[in-house]
A and B are shown apart, each in its own frame.
Chain A
Amino acid sequence: MLSVRNLQVSIDDNEILKGLSLEIKPGEVHAIMGPNGSGKSTLASVLAGNENYKVKEGKVFFEGKDLLDMAPEIRAREGIFVAFQYPVEIPGVSNINFLKTALAEIKSYRNLPPLEARDFLKLLKEKQKLVEFDASLTNRSLNEGFSGGEKKRNEIFQLAMLDPKLAILDETDSGLDIDALRIVAKGVNKLRSEKNAFIIITHYQRLLEYIIPDFVHVLYNGQIVKSGGKELALELEEKGYDWLKEISPTDELA
């Protein structure tokens, strides 16, 4: 589904990703862990199409198509969704209107008939329930005056509404209390299927107790230095990120 090959990315002349490769198949959940500044969020931003990040080298294919050639909205319509670490507040744009517009454009891109108003509302209610998103928030301006936790839950609510093929959760767990974390995880678990895939970017192992990944990758200094099963997350939690310095290939060279 997603194939990242030797991805090298910089921002303002700072090299952040230094040759990252990753293969993701439908039905899989991948966790990417790593210390601050290792490049986790950069990966999410590049996949979303943020033009502040410059791709120097490497290729990214999504279902065989060159992802890096696509505008952000095309990526979304193709089926990529990034739940952002810091969702933007947009006063004056209502959550509902925003979702209606987004869904309509995605449907039209996929040559699907537009949703009737009634079906849209039905879907809205169903997904609100699924991710336990407060209905009163749906009628408000997009993220305006939302608490940190509410913003994160709104990202998951959007994820449920737009039903992407590949969802990337960028530190969705940061700033969530344990109850909110459980709700978010429950929502994600209900959305998991044979056809879609998830990338969970996280700092802590905590979220992975609720969303069990198929693979765990450790990102350090712009590269994936270790990959393994779900037990790798526990090992990392136990040994701490200092452990990475021992296994990092750049350090080996030095």
Chain B
Amino acid sequence: MITEINNSLYDQFIADFEERAARIENESVYSLRKKAMEQFKLLGFPSTKVEDWKYTNVMPFLSADFTFKQPVNTNTTEVGIQQFRIAALECYQIVLLNGEYQPQLSDEIVNKNISVTSLKESYQEETFQKNFGQQLNLNKHHFGALNTAFFKDGLFITTKDNAVAEKPLHIIYLFDSDANLFIQPRHLFVFGKNSNTTLIETYVAANVNSKVFINSVSEITMGENASLHHYNIQTPHDGTVLINHTEVNQKDSSCYNNYCTSFPGADLIRNNLNVALEGENIGSHLYGLYLVADKQLIDNHTLVDHRKPHCQSNELYKGVMKENALGVFNGKVLVRKDAQKTNAFQQNNNLMLSSSAVIESKPQLEIFADDVKCSHGSTVGRFNEDALFYLRSRGISEEQAIALLINAFVFDVTEKIPIPAIQLHINKLIEQSLNELETVS
């Protein structure tokens, strides 16, 4: 159940939990924590014998000495944060330092229909009590249970019915520490009926000379006819492990768009994105892009759960793998018995730049309805040699031609990004990663 390597970390968690019990912050949150803790004791950390973690071994990353305490002295200043803004993007900036909300470093939200508060200060809110912990299945998700038992803070964002966010909410996760940190942010986002919001999450390292293990859980609830564009732009530094679990629940006629982009840096990134289509006429669009460098592991697990009829989902994940990179894509589309007239599409394409890179791609369709249109597919390949030759025959160097072809490969995903400043930002990150890739080889 619990492997030996992680006994010390596991014991550390048990002790921490008992310490917490002495200062109960809220009765209902505490009872959920207790349930989650019992569940975590049953599950432990996932070994590669667990199907969902078959290709992703987290054990080596759990052996470092971690502290759960916030570092006291951090050097992060308002000025220092400027560099993490997305160029030319008008937005509300929301800063989390080592997983905790920093209102003094964040923009004031002038829009009265949008509320951004610290999660730990929101336990009394009716919306919190109604939605918190409702979507995450503690019996299945090892890290989800762990997060629920131990989260300290995070964001509680709500929008009123008919609210239109006039500019995106940009959440910047900053890390600033000298000691090895194990942090577990927890968020709850509740978007009202007919609301329209853009949410951007970026991960950046400010002053880190140590290991950071991030175990993050977000629950998102979308009211009827709500629209959400949700970006994950992951550029953490090396030495980082990011376990990012997102649960989305959509009501009738809502539209959820997720753009998940992971760039070289972190040792391990694991994204769990579970979308429940809990209504009719829903649209869900999941776009992913992962560039994986040497000795890195990027693992995307998605679940699109069609529960009601007349919904549409579309998923496209593209990966570029180089050197000894390891990538995992596991995409499951579930069409339940009631979900007639479902249109569900899923595609995963991988471009291998090296013969020693590995991608484990597993597209899954489970259909229990009989009147649906579904397709899925996966490709793994090298460059089109004919295209490479064609470009070179016009005077373009091999390196430039390869860069053009990689950009062309990821274009299907990047072109879907509706905000030009973000598209530009992501294209820059791609270019940067490719340059880094070239200098390595």
Contacts and interface: CB of A to CB of B under 8 A. Distances in A.
The answer to whether A and B assemble together is yes
Interface of A: 48-51, 71-73, 75-77, 81-82, 84, 87-88, 90-93, 97-98, 101-103, 105-106, 109, 141, 158, 162
24 contacts: A50-B389, A72-B389, A72-B393, A73-B395, A73-B396, A73-B397, A76-B393, A76-B394, A77-B395, A82-B393, A88-B384, A88-B390, A90-B384, A90-B408, A92-B407, A92-B412, A93-B391, A98-B391, A98-B394, A101-B400, A102-B395, A102-B396, A141-B408, A158-B394
Contacts of A91: 408, 411
Given A72-B392, A87-B390, A92 B411 contact: yes
A93 B395 contact: no
Contacts of B408: 90-93, 141
A91 B404 CA distance: 11
A50 B385 CA distance: 10
Nearest 9 Cβ contacts at the A-B interface: A92-B408, A92-B411, A76-B395, A72-B392, A102-B394, A88-B390, A106-B395, A73-B392, A93-B408
Contacts of A73: 392-398, 401
A93 B396 contact: no
Interface residues on B, range: 20 to 34
Contacts of B409: 92
Given A90-B390, A102-B396, 20 more contacts: A49-B392, A50-B389, A73-B401, A88-B384, A88-B386, A88-B387, A88-B390, A90-B384, A90-B391, A90-B404, A90-B405, A97-B404, A98-B394, A98-B396, A101-B400, A103-B395, A106-B395, A109-B395, A141-B408, A162-B394
A86 B392 CA distance: 16
Chain B CB within 10 Å — which of A50, A84, A92, A97 has the most?
Answer: A92
B411 A101 contact: no
Interface string B238-273: 000000000000000000000000000000000000
Interface of B: 384, 386-387, 389-398, 400-401, 404-405, 407-412
A76 B392 contact: yes
A109 to B, nearest CB: 7
Contacts of B405: 90, 93
A48 B395 contact: no
